Amino acid sequence: MLQCATDPAAQLGKKVAVVDYVEPSPRGTRWGLGGTCVNVGCIPKKLMHQAALLGDRIRDAPHYGWEVPQQVPHDWRKMAEAVQNHVKSLNWGHRVQLQDRKVKYFNIKASFVNEHVVCGVTKGGKETLLSAEHIVIATGGRPRYPTNIEGALEHGITSDDIFWLKESPGKTLVVGASYVALECAGFLTGLSLDTTVMMRSIPLRGFDQQMSSLVTEHMASHGTQFLRGCTPSRVKKLPDGQLQVTWKDLASGREDMGTFDTVLWAIGRVPETRSLNLEKAGVNTNPNTHKILVDAQEATSVPHIYAIGDAAEGRPELTPTATMAGRLLAQRLCGQSSDLMDYDNVPTTVFTPLEYGCVGLSEEEAVARHGEEHVEVYHAFYKPLEFTVAERDSSQCYIKMVCLREPPQLVLGLHFLGPNAGEVTQGFALGIKCGASYTQVMRTVGIHPTCAEEVAKLRITKRSGLEPTVTGC
């Protein structure tokens, strides 16, 4: 957790060490300093998403007068090399930053010896012992492999591998319904690859379900195939190298088969805590999730041992929350402040082909918490101006704002589905942090022409039953 180490702690004269090690994936993929986000998460994901979006723009361009060939092929290798080079530059940047801040960096696999000592093993097998007054566990998580599917481990890959593939994954089956599954399936489709998503039940569990349906609806109408209510039972490698997948339709019980070049498991992540020897330090974990139990100060069951990021129980698995938690923790440890992390109203964005940005409560959560009579939902279908000339389908471009019904109608949650959803949502997240009400949002003048202004123009409630489609300028 570099923020924790570099920002305040080392700058405040503390002697700090960072221990980072990447156990190669079953396929053998490994990477440098920086963690999931930089190497096998947010960064390469957004870059490949951008590559896919550029494919859309190439299709839009002729409508706007550009003379472009009908079919433009995509070269995976060229993209992968560019993305991987950028990630490597970030690895390098992190190493330089640690050096500049005089933080010692050990590329070793560490585990606890006792509550103040860790033992690290290098790639070559050499052992080092490190002792510290405070220890922060920020080991994150790794993709889960299915345990009861024959051939899953040998023949499937995960997000740990996809961003580092030198060759195109070809015809791909993505198993899972997480944002990882949908984002990957989304950009693979956008790069002209034949892509299928296999889901056991609902997409984006935990997210607003109406929005999640619109996300998958958009993907389905833009070339991604979906196999809903199915689970794989076997993966077999064929003589020509392709993979034969057998699956079961849960409703009918029927078995089916298909052939793919790649099978990508995106069925969740497991925290990297089992090889830490936590019991030697007395650090408790949740027996079901294996995540480390922490309090509001990020302290574990052992007062001087802390945990932040994806390995900690009950925290959003997001880079910016981990970053901020790390920074605040360091400041507290150095006596600089007593500010605690606020995990409420954390905004996020799912970078599917049509992006979904959200902050606050889903409609279901709001209704569960406050009761339907006390919740007002304002919503609208809108058409981004840029889609008009491009003749793009905007059927799923949709916004809803979930508010308390009582005046001034405090905003409980905002959900935006459309282009640049992350950019749109960020500012509104600030507004919600400031306690924005529907009245205040409505009093804010829009910026024209943008998609974001449609949020400030929401008028139709779900309760009214009126048609929520925005027309005209």
Q: Which is nearer to other proteins, 273 or 321 (CB)?
A: 321
- Binding residue (CB under 8 A) for other proteins from 11, 26, 50, 202: 50
Say which of 94, 116, 374, 448 is annotated catalytic: 448
Binders of other proteins among residues 188 to 217 (CB under 8 A) are 191
Looking at 133-141, 285-293, 304-312, 421-429, which segment touches other proteins (CB under 8 A)? 421-429
Binding characters for other proteins, 360-389, by CB under 8 A (x = yes): -------------------------xx-xx
Token pair of 25 as six digits: 């994936």
Binders of other proteins among residues 18 to 47 (CB under 8 A) are 37, 42-43, 46-47
Q: Does the footprint of other proteins cover residue 347 (CB under 8 A)? A: yes
Looking at 15-23, 72-80, 172-180, 303-311, which segment touches other proteins (CB under 8 A)? 72-80
Q: Which is nearer to other proteins, 14 or 46 (CB)?
A: 46
- Binding residue (CB under 8 A) for other proteins from 28, 67, 238, 239: 67
Q: Which is nearer to other proteins, 273 or 409 (CB)?
A: 409
Task: Determine whether 147 is exposed, middle or buried from the number of CB atoms within 10 Å of its CB (0-12, 13-18, 19+).
Answer: exposed
Token pair of 125 as six digits: 């097998």
Q: Rounded distance, CA 387 to CA 389, Å?
A: 6
Q: Do residues 178 and 204 make contact, with C-beta atoms less than 8 angstroms apart?
A: yes
| Cα Rg of the chain (Å, integer) | 24
Q: Is 155 a catalytic residue?
A: no
Residue 198, by phi and psi: left (phi above 0), alpha (psi -120 to 50) or beta?
A: beta
Which ranges of 296-452 does DSSP label H, i.e. alpha helix?
Answer: 319-333, 363-370, 385-390, 421-433, 438-443
CA distances in angstroms from 206 to 158, 361, 364, listed in the order given: 21, 10, 10
Looking at 68-76, 146-154, 245-253, 265-273, which segment touches other proteins (CB under 8 A)? 68-76
Q: Which amino acid is at 107?
A: N
Closest alpha carbon to 389 in 71, 70, 65 = 65
- Binding residue (CB under 8 A) for other proteins from 188, 436, 458, 468: 436
Q: Which is nearer to other proteins, 36 or 231 (CB)?
A: 36
Q: Do residues 2 and 98 make contact, with C-beta atoms less than 8 angstroms apart?
A: yes
Which residues fall in the annotated binding site for FAD? 46, 310
Q: Which is nearer to other proteins, 81 or 364 (CB)?
A: 81
Min. distance of Cβ 45 from other proteins in angstroms?
9
Q: Which residues pair with 416 in a beta bridge?
A: 357, 399
Question: For residues 110-122, b (16+ Cβ closer than 10 Å) or e, as one string?
Answer: bebeebbebbbee
Binders of other proteins among residues 303 to 332 (CB under 8 A) are 318-321, 324
Which residues fall in the annotated binding site? 46, 176-183, 268, 310
